[in-house]
Copies of this chain bind each other. A is one copy, B any other.
Amino acid sequence: MEKSNIFDKIPADLTLESFEQIGGNDKILIERIVSKAHVTPEGQWYDQDRSEWVMVLKGEAKLQFEQGELVHMKAGDHVDIAAHCKHRVAWTSTETETLWLTVHY
């Protein structure tokens, strides 16, 4: 049984946000994302065909929703975003890496 640790192997170079599949199959994608100061470009939105359950494990971030709501996410916070609910990452910490766990389903 292959065991991994979600806090391990944080890329040293985070010029680009890091996306890594850590589980799932052809139906669902379980992914670790590492951000540091990354945001979704102003005016752009994620508009996804699948639902996305997402939790912050370390660091902090702000998710913005098309209706204007801003959700401040800290370690342990999770939201369940329905398919086609438009959202963007408005802010991630510049001080430390922000580790996300997402399930696209």
Contact = CB atoms under 8 A, between A and B. Distances in A.
Interface string A62-75: 01010001010111
Interface centre among A2, A53, A74 (most CB of B within 10 A): A53
B81 A5 contact: no
Contact of A105 (B4, B27, B57): B27
Given A55-B6, A65-B1, A80 B23 contact: yes
Interface of A: 1-8, 22-25, 27-28, 30, 51, 53, 55, 57, 63, 65, 69, 71, 73-81, 101, 103, 105
Pairs of residues from A and B, 4 with the lowest C-beta to C-beta distance, nearest first: A23-B53, A5-B76, A7-B76, A23-B80
